[in-house]
Amino acid sequence: MTGAAPSDGLPVLAFADEAAWETWLTAHAKGAGVWLKIAKQGNATPSVTYAQALDVALCHGWIDGQKRGFDEEWFLQRFTPRRPRSLWSARNVAHVTRLQAAGRIREAGLREIEAARADGRWDAAYAGASTMAPPPELVAALGRTAGAQAAFDALDRSNRYAVCFRVATLKTAAGRERRAQALADLLAAGGRIHDRA
């Protein structure tokens, strides 16, 4: 299997180590983004790891995005500058807190942290798939909508998380209640967020 470059126009680059990625990111801080080619386990080619790449990106105010396969030896991980008002995950808040304590955060990263703290996104960081519980508004909507709870329970992990995320990340209680009810109705009607073949 031969890897193909994504069609979004971002460059596909490989770096032998964390320092090389940091050097590139420092020089291209205002770029649109990049697909990093990262070695899979078992590939002996020197490569920055995903964890190293994420740390460097967060330090510079960038964020990880989509991951996709490339070939038997490599995968691609998309990194882009964080967009204004983008949500923060609890996982990345923890990473940034660790990186800040180590003195690694750069000016651009600090600006993103300060903006998120100022507008409440920092405190509203969402939980990951392994730790996110259904929000109370969703629990209530599932309970009052015939068939919705059973449909939710039958979803795979990806769909359960997608439903919870779409409710939990809304700012207002009224918005969460409306979205929860719409999703409960969708589930009761046999719908789902992600179709699986």
Domain ranges for the chain, please list them: 12-119, 136-188
Write the pLDDT tens digit of every residue in 42-86. 999 999 999 999 999 999 999 999 999 999 999 999 999 999 999
| Nearest alpha-carbon partner for 165 in 190, 183, 185 | 183
Distance of CA 99 to the CA centre of its chain: 18
Taking only the tens place, the pLDDT of each residue in 96-142 is 999 999 999 999 999 999 999 999 999 999 998 888 999 999 999 99
Residue type (1 letter), 153:
D
Mean pLDDT of 156-167: 92
- Dihedral angle sign, alpha carbons of residues 93, 99, 103, 107: negative
Give this prediction's pTM.
0.82
As a whole number of angstroms, the distance between CA 50 and CA 135 comes to 30
H or E stretch including 153?
A: helix 148-154
**Could you give the percent of the chain with pLDDT greater than 70?**
97
